[in-house]
Amino acid sequence: MDLTKSFPRSPKATIAGVTMAARAADKGRASAAGTLGEYNYDCPMDRMLFAFLGTDSGEYLAAVLSSSDDSGVAKLIEAKLASKSHKEIDDYNHHLLGHAPKAGTDGVAYFLSGRERVGHGRTDIFTWPDLIDVEEGREVPHRSDTPDWAKPAH
């Protein structure tokens, strides 16, 4: 995978039903090939995935590189999920897909700056996965609920 010429998969793409797994696999493969470009393998969202699975970037990368497709990492994920309930998996997926800046932190200004830069005038983008998808040209549904941290101050 050459991330100097293409995008990794969306944070919403899954392997074995787990969000962020496909994107982390793409970035890991590119990192190993020296074609990561401006992306970061083992970024905060990758670490959310690794923490949920009970693994780390090294073990995940070894699984990614064990096959030319997603089967190696799928095998690792399935083994790590064996002790987790469907609810735990659903809760993780929901948490990752809703990952947004925390109110009152520097992350809010950073997020809003990025949204202004790449959001094509979209003021209804409130999560990191949606911002990533918009930046990389993927379709993101319009939202009507505005979280408190994103409401203009009066």
- Give the number of domains in the chain: 2
pLDDT at residue 153 above 70? no
Distance CA(20)–CA(40), nearest Å, equals 13
Distance CA(47)–CA(34), nearest Å, equals 20
Tell me what the mean pLDDT of segment 19-48 comes to.
Answer: 97
Residues 6 or more apart whose CB falls under 8 angstroms from that of 54 comprise: 80
Would you state the pLDDT for residue 135?
A: 95
What's the whole-number average pLDDT of the chain? 94
Answer yes or no: is 21 within a domain.
yes
Answer yes or no: is 89 within a domain.
no
Answer yes or no: is 7 within a domain.
no
Token look-up 């009066």 returns 154
Tell me what the mean pLDDT of segment 84-105 comes to.
Answer: 95
Tell me what the mean pLDDT of segment 57-75 comes to.
Answer: 97
On whether both 26 and 67 belong to a single domain, the answer is: yes
Answer yes or no: is 101 within a domain.
no
Answer yes or no: is 100 within a domain.
no
Answer yes or no: is 24 within a domain.
yes
- Structural domain boundaries enclosing 123: 106-150
Query: Which DSSP symbol is given to 14?
Result: E
Would you state the pLDDT for residue 120?
A: 87
Answer yes or no: is 96 within a domain.
no
Residues 6 or more apart whose CB falls under 8 angstroms from that of 14 comprise: 21, 22, 93
Angle among Cα 118, 139, 136 to the nearest 5 degrees reads 40
Domain boundary among 83, 115, 142: 83
On whether both 76 and 115 belong to a single domain, the answer is: no
pLDDT digits (tens, 9 = 90+) for 106-148: 999 999 999 999 988 898 999 999 999 999 999 999 988 777 7
